[in-house]
Structure 1
Amino acid sequence: MMSFDVQHAYAALQPYFQARIHLNEPLASHSAFGVGGPADVWVTLEKQQELIDLVNMCAEHRWPLLLVGEGRNILFADAGVRGIVARIDFHHYQIEMQTETSALLIVEAGARWAQILDKLLPLGWSGLEFGVGIPGTLGAGIVSNAGAHNWDLGHILKWIEVLDARGCNSEPEDQFAPASIRCYTRDELDLGHRQSRFRVERSTFIDHEGKLVCPPRRLIEPPEIVLLLGLRLSYRDSQQLLTQRDRFLRERRLNEPPLPHTGPIFKDPEGGSARELIERVGLRGQVHGQAQITEQNANYLANLGGARAEDMVRLIIAAHQQVRKQCGTDLTLNVDLLGEWSHSG
């Protein structure tokens, strides 16, 4: 692990971020699962320029930096995260008319699904309504190509703008290149089911022995950070859209546990259902410590109160191994495991 002088970094950054920077921030309060140890330094970013400046400053000083959104798909380790963790919280948007019945939504990566839908649907702008009830941000959504109802962000994406910090991760240290902004079209992103090329190198998987295999931590993580999305919209009757929103919400409530601190575990395999496979091997309702594979949906984990990340990982591995053994399916994680994981099996 790279060395990191916490006090030096905090002293250098505090004048810029003031009340938005914290030492030893508990990450459990920034994860849907409600677990995770401390981040050495926590920063909230409210403008794109703050992100650009922070990335370049971290590259220059060799401070490890992890960028996150709402933490809806993240399981932070009990040991926390060494270095700086920065939350992307810029969320402005604009609608550019193309024709009388079509438009382009230009939206910053930190915008939340619910926030944008509350604005678009009453105006009759269609395109994102499949995401009713999806938590988190649109920036994180395109990394995982989030979707529902046989639709996903890739269907309406035209382009994205990213901060390319790959040069900041270069070795030796004196050869790093400053971060730069670049644009990608939809076809350059290798979008698939809950997948994009941004996610491939960051994925944790479980090997045949039941051990976690985590990707190596780089200085700036992720090395390409989504800043802006261009999404296609079309005009529909607003009342129809609002009616559809209500129906989607009802369907979601039937399938999601009504518990705080919960989230999905695995991607559905092609032509199958992770939920049904976990139920088939008899693990619905299984408890480890204060973590549970929920009764309502066996592809969801819940924190019953005071769970540790380790408890959740034990259940994740048990589900993965039993499904592989009994059903012959190698389930793929739909959560990102971040921080100081030591194993695990």
Structure 2
Amino acid sequence: MRRVRLAEHTTSRVGGPAERWVVAESEADAVEAIRAADTSETPLLVLGGGSNVLMADAGFPGTVVTMAFSGVEIVEEGPSTALVRMAAGQNWDEAVAWTVAQGLSGLEALSGIPGSAGATPVQNVGAYGAEVSNTLVRLRAWDREEGRLVELSSEELRLSYRDSIIKQSLGGHSATPRWVVLSVDFRLTRSGSAAPVRFAQLASALGVEEGQSAPLETVRHHVLRLRASKGMVLDADDHDTWSTGSFFTNPIVPAEVRSSLPEGAPVFGAGEGRVKLSAAWLIDRAGFAKGFGLPDGPAGGRASLSTKHTLAVTNRGSATAEDLLSVARAVRDGVDSHWGIRLHPEPVLIGCSL
């Protein structure tokens, strides 16, 4: 029997073989496979869309459970809102398109993000001024530690910038968190207009002021266009999209760091005496332009920063995970040397490290 290579199931198209591959066609299938792996103390990896994970070239020495069950439905309707439930394996962008078609606002700014619905709460996925935490009400999950099905509210998840208690439970060498998401509920607003636009670039594209709104379909269209211009919408023929998406999170640092940056540097308030900086800006101003690679180094030109956006490390067609990491390390160390600011990876690194 052919061993499945993880490169065939990740957006960066890197990663070695899985020792065992299980396709979960339902919640019951997923729980059964997870329990079996945990009972036998077999290393476990639960995989959704494979968009925010970097897999080692050696592969995974255990069981990989891929969430293959999908579905999106309205489970509760109010006068002006609806509670929408998405299965963990549901393609995220298809679900967002469905909500827009239903006239439900709240997720439209998250259009075009690759991956599955079940993965979105783990890192509180966000883009263009919106985050999953804005509309997420609760989720249903399998608690591996307690061996039971649980519901976790938005408050219990402690969602923050690219973080949650689910992500925090990864820790150590674990490839799968304590809680495995099975379905997610979002409270959306029934309106022909999108939620107020909170991102300057999107507002400019729409021709509105920040805080104003626009038709749902129009917002989705412009978000997809903006993402595509940065190589952030999957396209098999475009190597700029062969990536994990943004490789680094925007650093959150003490507010006094602002004084060490040149005038005009993008700085955003992050509360509690801290500010958030633009990782892409720091990378570019540290001398790493779009398309930066290591032609004479470890990556051998097989990997580079995207030619459209400095925040993505891309596979140019034949890269390995180590090639991608070589470019990422060069960028991380260069930014640290230039600015004294350490960048941290956004994707989950499985069997490898930065």
Q: Look up the equivalent residue of 2:173 and give its one-letter code.
A: P
Partner Cα distance (1:64, 1:286) in 2 = 36
Structure 2, unaligned stretches of length 5 or more?
A: 194-213, 233-237, 253-275, 294-298
3-state SS of paired residue (1:32): coil
Q: Look up the equivalent residue of 1:184 and give its one-letter code.
A: L
Partner Cα distance (2:312, 2:77) in 1 = 40
Q: Look up the equivalent residue of 1:311 and give its one-letter code.
A: D
Partner Cα distance (1:65, 1:98) in 2 = 37
3-state SS of paired residue (1:139): helix
CA contact (8 A) 1:23 1:41 kept: no
**Aligned position for 1:301:** 313
**Aligned position for 2:173:** 216
- Note the C-alpha offset of 1:202: 2.9
Alignment TM-score, normalising by the size of structure 1: 0.81
Out of 118, 141, 163, the position equivalent to 2:97 is: 118
**Aligned position for 1:91:** 70
Higher RCO, Cα 8 Å, sep 6+: 1
The one-character-per-residue Cα deviations of 1:36-60 (angstroms, maximum 9, x if unpaired) are 1111111211100001111222233
Are 1:291 and 2:293 matched, yes or no?
no
The one-character-per-residue Cα deviations of 1:197-220 (angstroms, maximum 9, x if unpaired) are 2112436xxxxxxxxxxx3237xx
3-state SS of paired residue (1:166): coil
Q: Which moved more, 1:282-291 or 1:102-111?
A: 282-291
Partner Cα distance (1:224, 1:103) in 2 = 26
- Note the C-alpha offset of 1:232: 0.3
- Residue correspondence of structure 1 range 13-24 to structure 2 within 5 A: 23-24=2-3
Q: Look up the equivalent residue of 1:234 and give its one-letter code.
A: T
CA contact (8 A) 2:109 2:219 kept: no
Partner Cα distance (2:331, 2:170) in 1 = 21
Out of 111, 134, 142, the position equivalent to 1:132 is: 111
- Note the C-alpha offset of 1:64: 2.2
Q: Look up the equivalent residue of 2:292 and give its one-letter code.
A: Q
**Aligned position for 1:248:** 223
**Aligned position for 2:159:** 191
Are 1:272 and 2:277 matched, yes or no?
yes
The one-character-per-residue Cα deviations of 1:39-93 (angstroms, maximum 9, x if unpaired) are 1111211100001111222233332221111100111001110011111121123
Q: Which moved more, 1:279-288 or 1:64-73?
A: 279-288
Are 1:182 and 2:150 matched, yes or no?
yes
CA contact (8 A) 1:66 1:222 kept: no
Partner Cα distance (1:293, 1:334) in 2 = 15
**Aligned position for 2:60:** 81
Are 1:157 and 2:141 matched, yes or no?
no
- Note the C-alpha offset of 1:23: 4.6
Partner Cα distance (1:166, 1:306) in 2 = 39
Q: Look up the equivalent residue of 1:235 and give its one-letter code.
A: R
- Note the C-alpha offset of 1:230: 1.3
- Residue correspondence of structure 1 range 217-232 to structure 2 within 5 A: 217=174, 221-232=176-187
3-state SS of paired residue (1:24): coil
**Aligned position for 2:324:** 312
- Note the C-alpha offset of 1:283: 2.0
- Note the C-alpha offset of 1:260: 4.0
Percent of pairs with identical residues: 30
- Residue correspondence of structure 1 range 4-83 to structure 2 within 5 A: 23-83=2-62
The one-character-per-residue Cα deviations of 1:235-279 (angstroms, maximum 9, x if unpaired) are 112792111111111121222365341222101123321111111
| CA RMSD after TM alignment | 1.9
CA contact (8 A) 1:35 1:75 kept: yes
Alignment TM-score, normalising by the size of structure 2: 0.79
Number of residue pairs aligned between Structure 1 and Structure 2: 297
Q: Look up the equivalent residue of 1:321 and give its one-letter code.
A: D
The one-character-per-residue Cα deviations of 1:164-218 (angstroms, maximum 9, x if unpaired) are 0024xxxxxxxxxxx2001111111121111112112436xxxxxxxxxxx3237
CA contact (8 A) 1:23 1:39 kept: no
- Note the C-alpha offset of 1:294: 1.9
Q: Look up the equivalent residue of 1:261 and give its one-letter code.
A: W
CA contact (8 A) 2:231 2:241 kept: no
3-state SS of paired residue (1:143): coil
